[in-house]
């Protein structure tokens, strides 16, 4: 992923990923309710996302559409995390997660199935 999204931009993108296409006003209303942002803050962040090519704006009413799927961002962010903090080693990330989290039996079983599927 050539586009680096900051936390504020991810909040706007998350609204679009969860809700689908929304007007800037609708995004602003949602983020005001969820995290207390005012309209100017939301509009500024939306404009940054548009400039980066993460959001497409159309008329009428400043309609916003996510151009990047959430899964693409998740993969890129995970790869960056693994590279920065775990010396490029996914197994070290996995070990860290397992060592610091209380997992339910269902979560453990899901992880086992994922590992089995990789083999």
CATH number of the domain that residue 59 is part of: 1.10.10.10
Q: How many domains does the chain have?
A: 2
Distance CA 5, CA 49 (A): 8
In a domain? residue 45: yes
Q: What's the pLDDT at 6?
A: 95
Upper half-sphere CA count for residue 56 (Cβ side, 13 Å) = 8
Give the bridge partners for 63, in sequence order: 23, 58
> Against a cut of 0.85, is the pTM above it?
no
What are the pLDDT tens digits along the chain (119 aa)? Answer: 468 899 999 999 999 999 999 999 999 999 999 999 999 999 999 999 999 999 999 998 899 999 999 999 999 999 999 999 999 998 898 888 888 778 888 988 998 898 899 87
In a domain? residue 79: no
Domain that holds residue 111: 89-119
In a domain? residue 81: no
């Amino acid at each position: 992923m050539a586009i680096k999204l900051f936390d504020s931009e991810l909040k706007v993108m998350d609204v679009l990923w969860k809700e689908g296409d929304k007007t800037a006003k609708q995004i602003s209303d949602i983020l005001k309710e969820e995290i207390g942002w005012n309209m100017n803050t939301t509009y500024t962040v939306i404009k940054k996302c548009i400039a980066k090519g993460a959001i497409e704006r159309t008329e009428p009413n400043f309609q916003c559409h996510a151009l990047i799927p959430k899964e693409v961002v998740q993969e890129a962010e995970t790869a960056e995390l693994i590279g920065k903090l775990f010396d490029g080693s996914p197994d070290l990330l996995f070990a860290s997660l397992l060592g610091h989290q209380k997992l339910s039996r269902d979560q453990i079983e899901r992880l086992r199935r994922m590992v089995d599927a990789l083999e």
